[in-house]
Every structure is written in structure tokens, then in C-alpha cells.
Amino acid sequence: MPQPKPAPEAPRAWQRMLSGRRLDLLNPSPFDVEIEDIAHGLARVARWNGQTTGAHAFSVAQHSLEVERICVKLAPDWPARWRLAALLHDAPEYVIGDMISPFKAALGFDYKAFETKLEAAVHLRFGLPAALPQIVKAQIKRADIICAYFEAVQLAGFTDKEAKKYFGAPPRGFALRLEPKSTGDVQAAFLARFKTLIEKV
């Protein structure tokens, strides 16, 4: 009598990090999140799918630093915990990459729940609420869009008219000068800023 075939092994759903952690992508645990892995990954993920000018890619880590700085300008009285949340607003991308909006639309599926799980794990790991207050999320999103406008016109080849169509105009008198930096410099700057903020949380 033929023996039944063994059940196929479930596909691997974890990623091994350089820290040695194994992050379960379907059920991420805060205990498997390390800031060194986040900084390393985000410094190597390019914004705009790498379609930017300059000797270096404009990384998600550098974008995150700029967004946190913009938040400080928009809300100078913010406590360190919300500034830390701004720095980490794209942290899930150290695992899933920076999926540009047109690609999300073309794929036609909602990956938001997957991203939200990763974000919650990151937040809990560093003493933030799993879900941020809506007013905090809105302010970070505003800063994110302001940064995207300047990235678009300075680095990604958009005209001012195009950038305003997709991202809106930045606040009157608001200026930002972006210069893509090397992976190593950005990684170090991201870690330094994190350490400064986490000590105040």
C-alpha cells in the first residue's frame, strides 16, 4: 500500500537580520526588532526606486531624518517620543522596502495590514504606542509630504508644477536643501539621532 506523501513544508516567512534575529514577517515580535538592523536596512533602501540625481541614492534613512527635522519645525513643542515616532515612521521598510505609490496601485492589493503589524512591533520595541494618536500621525504625514515635495523637485526630476499637483505646495517660506549622502554616513546619523531621542523618551 503506497505511503501518503508528507504535507508540504510551509514557506519560510521569517527574515534573518545581521543582528542574528529572525523576524517573523507574518507575526513580527518586538523582541526581534533591533535599531541597528533598522538603520542598516533603511540606509540601503532607496527612495523613488533609486531614480534620483547625485552620487548616492537618497535613502529612506536620510528621508526619515529629514521628516523628523520638519516635524520639529512644525511642532517645536513636541515631546521626544513623537519625534522618535517621526524618525521611525518608515521603519517597516527595512524589511519590505520602499514601495512607491504607483506600484501599490498597480498591484491592486492592500498590504497596509502587513505594514501595520511591523510598525506596531517597532513601536512597542522602543516604548511607543502600537498605534499612534491620529493627531500625531497626521503631523508626521504632513512632514512626510513636505519632504516628498522637495525630494521630487530637487532629486527626482519633477517640475514644480508636477510636484505641487501630487504633493501640494510646502508651507510659505519653508525651505529644504537635500544632498544625498553615503550609506555609511546616513546609517551613522540615523543611529545617532535615535540614541539622542530614545534617552529622552
Domains and CATH numbers, the chain: 34-198 (1.10.3210.10)
**H helical segments located in the chain:** 35-42, 60-74, 80-87, 93-96, 101-107, 112-125, 134-154, 160-167, 183-198
Q: Give pLDDT, residue 96.
A: 87
**Dist CA 127 CA 85 (whole Å):** 10
Q: Give pLDDT, residue 51.
A: 96
**Dist CA 67 CA 141 (whole Å):** 9
Of 43, 54, 148, nearest in space to 101 by CA: 148
Which regions in the chain score pLDDT beneath 50?
A: none
Q: Give pLDDT, residue 110.
A: 63
Side chain identity, residue 43: A
Q: What are phi and psi of 171, to 5 degrees?
A: -55, 145
**Dist CA 61 CA 183 (whole Å):** 9
Q: Give pLDDT, residue 59.
A: 98
Q: Is the pTM of this model over 0.85?
A: yes
Q: Give pLDDT, residue 200.
A: 96
What b/e readout covers 160-197, taking b as 16+ CB neighbours within 10 angstroms? eeebeeebeebeeeeeeebebbeeeebbebbbebbeeb
For residues 124 and 36, is the Cβ–Cβ distance under 8 A?
A: no
For residues 57 and 50, is the Cβ–Cβ distance under 8 A?
A: yes
**59 Cβ neighbours under 8 A, 6+ residues apart:** 42, 43, 44, 45, 46, 47, 180, 181, 183, 186
